[in-house]
Amino acid sequence: MRTKKQHSAGGVIFRERDGRIEVALISRSNQTIWSLPKGKVEEGESVEETARREVKEETGLEGKLLQKLNSIHYFYSSKEEKALFSKTVDFFLFKYLKGDVKEHDWEVESVEWFNIDEAIKKLTYKSERETLEKAKEILYKKK
């Protein structure tokens, strides 16, 4: 099996409601998987542009990019492509500006706002939970 590199970017988009911080998560597979919006970096695109585009496409939301959060790494194998993927995803923090979760992509099952602590519990992948923990740390320092 060949190993192929894959590079994606995504974001944590947050808003304040009644003094509490909420973030938008996307779900797949009958709401058994909850994750952060992300997608592959296309040719000629910067990682920041990818993150902004994917957040908008997958959640229907637009935000102001504040800073980089982290990069995560994982491996997965694809039978169809007969390859092992070594994947890096760069995550950025976005402050919600406009848009509605009802305008999300058809590929995504649903998009919901969660209180940040609830969202940390909801996320399927440990590495994304760490990304959100980092966002929480930054946002609470700002308060």
The least distance separating ligand ATP from the CB of residue 20, rounded to whole angstroms, comes to 26
Coil, strand, or helix at residue 136?
helix
* In the complex, minimum distance from the CB of residue 75 to ligand ATP, in angstroms, rounded to a whole number: 8
Q: How many CB atoms lie within 10 A of CB 61?
A: 23
The amino acid that residue 124 corresponds to is T
Residue type, 50: T
20/110 with CB nearer ligand ATP: 110
| Closer CB to ligand ATP, 16 or 107, in the complex | 107
Nearer to ligand ATP, 39 or 63 (CB): 39
Whole-number minimum distance, CB 39 to ligand ATP, in Å? 4
Q: How far is CA 112 from the centre of its chain?
A: 13
